[in-house]
A and B are shown apart, each in its own frame.
Chain A
Amino acid sequence: MSQDLRKKESILRNSGFQTILASLLCIVLGLLVGFIVLLIINPSGAAGAIAAILKNFLYYPSGAAAIKYFGTTLVNASALLMCSLSVLFAYKVGLFNIGAAGQYVVGAGACLYCALALKMPWIVCLIAAVVAAALVGGISGALKAYFNVNEVISCIMLNWISLYCVNMLLTGVKEQTTPYTTPLSSGNKSALLPNLGLDKLFNKNEFVTIGLPLAVIMAILVWVLLEKTKFGYELKATGLNKNAAKYCGMKEQRNVILTMMIAGGLAGFAAGIYYLTGIEQWMVQQTSVPAMGFNGIAAAFLGGLNPIGTIFSSYFIQHITSGGTYVDKSMYCSQISDLISAFIIYLCGFVLFFRLWLNRWLDKRDEKAKKGGKA
């Protein structure tokens, strides 16, 4: 009898381990599909191309150059991490924040405008980015809470409205001859994030700033907020069963709006730590929303919707996205890594099924072992 009560806790039953296993499976299958597509397009260079995607900065033979581009990948990954935290946070409360891309755009517009037109130091620009993006997120949240507007649709509409508004706003601070905004190094040096010596770690890559550790700290803070605070518990309860939460006295309308504001703020922070490094200028004639927000969705689900997991998954997604730029352009195009990322998100949808299937297989196996023992 005591043997039945004490079910042997195999590591395979641990839900955390199952999620990691499922994510790894998604990655392997996604890369395999990418490899097959490359093979179909041009068999001769396929192996080299998939290797280029996987190697990313290791493409450079000299260690110094590799370290430098590793730094650039990390800068991109930290922004992606913030975007994926934005998506993750909203999803825990039952909301699909597809508007992370639009909130990212608003954050970028706010911080670049503060930097170039208002000549503010970096801390003000960063706060402006967070606040502006939080407000946009709050609009979606309010529309959902008070008018029951589907947050996916309202976020998409806001994505496009934000894009056009930011393009209009930043046209005032762009260079004379090109459609790009003036670089921060010439427009307003005080708006650049401080390096605090991190740039020397990456072979004097001036784009590596305090943004990197800040992003990781934010991930840990989000984890603490969701797992260890009363507010986080209330938010998760609202997401699991809105009516039960309301019955317990939790203000579900306030929670929905606050959640979208926090999610928006996280995406705005992403834009702040990306554009305030001076790594890129904004193109005021962009016709589509930057991919960073949408890749954040991939990273959030690949990380098993766990803030610590997203640190690793957002690095991986950025690694293959940056790796895509190193494929042989005469045979393939860089969109192949977008295709791989998209297919990985698609496979992440199967994770629930994979876990159900694994648990059922383990149950059958344990039952057989038990029957064998009794007989």
Chain B
Amino acid sequence: MLLLIQYTLIFASVLVLVALGGCFSEHSGVINIGLEGIMVMGALGGALMMKYLPEGTPAFFMILLVILAAVAVGMLFSLLLGVAAIRFSADQTLVGTALNLLGPAAAVVLVRAINMAESADNVSSTVMYGQAKKAFLMNIGKFEFNWFMLIALLVLIASYVVLYKTRFGLRLMACGEHPQAADSVGINVYKMRYAGVLISGALGGLGGLVYITAGVSEWKFENGVAGFGFLALAVMIFGQWKPVNIGLAALLFALFRALSNVYTGIDLLVALNLPSTVYNMFPYIISLVVLVFVSKKSRAPKAEGIPYDKGQR
């Protein structure tokens, strides 16, 4: 049971971080489908930093540097979406899909090149960071508390405050609802949208880092992030673009995702004798069911997906 709570919280942290990233981007008016690619690249940044940090660095610095690396790489990668969608009016769904394909491919190429440079026999796409990972954990009794759970909670609270209580957040949301009106009062819509995309890149990269460090000490980059970016998008839609609801939705989805890892420990579920693939499918089936009930009265930002054209009304 404790293991279930642990897995649920860590998966929920990933979903919360990435979904909040998508939330910021869509509130500013840019649809960010490319979260999966951003997660992979952020994870790559963090993993490489963990691999190359010397062993003696104190835990605090290690956590800080790794997080900074993941955030920076995520932000850089999301700039690809930002420039294409904001400056060049590209179709945002298409560019997002391109990022989803580009991220994992680039990650595998880079990791393989690094591994092969180290030793000509190593052609795997795995990055190992066992030592560094221990810095993230802290044991409270039998419960393995991961600092990222706290970070995710803090980001959630910060997002609520920024979006609803600060001028920046309110202006950001205005750019996604009615950019022409926002422009007429002097808000630079382009800058706000870039901010939204960069924030989504930062949070997406951080989410990717948390995903690959959850429970394992090495990551095979060929796997990408197994659809987690899209689950986060479903969380965002289920949460109706509101931080608090996103947090609750993330817990729900994470619970089902965690079940597939730990159901062997729960006697009730073992007795049902379902094949393991059914548990793997659970999060996706639940997402579909949930989306059916929620999408009719969707409170999506009104002007999302439409490139901003100053000349139009």
Contacts and interface: CB of A to CB of B under 8 A. Distances in A.
Interface of A: 37, 41-42, 96, 98, 143, 147-150, 152-154, 156-161, 164-165, 167-168, 287-288, 294, 297-298, 301, 329-333, 335-336, 338-339, 341-343, 345-346, 348-350, 352-353
Nearest to A96: B93
B292 A147 contact: yes
B95 interface: yes
A288 B224 contact: yes
Contacts of B296: 147-148
A153 B281 CA distance: 15
Given A157-B287, A343-B102, 5 more contacts: A143-B291, A329-B123, A348-B94, A349-B88, A350-B84
A301 B287 CA distance: 29
Interface stretch (B109-117, B154-162, B180-188): B109-117
A349 B233 contact: no
A332 B115 CA distance: 11
Given A153-B233, A341-B101, A330 B292 contact: no
Contacts of B105: 335, 338-339, 342
Nearest to A335: B108
A353 B102 contact: no
B90 A352 contact: yes
A312 B93 CA distance: 24
A288 B223 contact: yes
B281 A333 contact: no
Interface in B78-94: 80, 84, 88-91, 93-94
17 contacts: A41-B113, A42-B113, A147-B291, A148-B295, A157-B284, A158-B288, A161-B284, A297-B97, A298-B101, A342-B106, A345-B101, A346-B80, A346-B95, A346-B102, A348-B94, A349-B84, A349-B88
B235 to A, nearest CB: 10
Contacts of A330: 116, 120
A160 B84 contact: no
B112 A157 contact: no
Contacts of B233: 153, 156
Most buried by B among A297, A333, A345, A352: A333
Nearest to B224: A288
A147 B277 contact: no
A331 B116 contact: yes
Nearest to B99: A346
B277 A349 contact: no
For A98, A157, A165, the residue with the greatest tally of chain B CB atoms inside 10 Å of its CB is A157
B312 to A, nearest CB: 14
Given A331-B116, A339-B109, A287 B226 contact: yes
Contacts of B192: none
A149 B224 CA distance: 26
Contact of B281 (A37, A164, A301, A346): A164
Given A346-B98, A346-B102, A167 B277 contact: yes
A139 B93 CA distance: 21
A350 B277 CA distance: 40
Contacts of A156: 227, 230, 233
Contact of A160 (B98, B113, B123, B227): B227
A152 B120 CA distance: 41
B295 A301 contact: no
A335 B227 CA distance: 19
B237 interface: yes
A-B interface, 6 closest residue pairs, ranked by CB to CB distance from nearest: A349-B90, A342-B101, A346-B98, A342-B102, A338-B105, A345-B98
B292 A149 contact: yes
A150 B295 contact: yes
Contacts of B287: 153, 157
Interface centre among B80, B101, B230, B296 (most CB of A within 10 A): B101
Contacts of A338: 101, 105, 108
B90 A353 contact: yes
Contacts of B89: 352-353
B126 interface: no
A150 B291 CA distance: 9
A256 to B, nearest CB: 14
B281 A345 contact: no
B103 to A, nearest CB: 8
Interface string B227-251: 1001001100100000000000000
B291 A149 contact: yes
B127 interface: no
Contacts of B101: 294, 298, 338, 341-342, 345
B298 interface: yes
B311 interface: no
B54 interface: no
Nearest to B288: A157
Contacts of A161: 281, 284-285, 288
Nearest to A343: B102
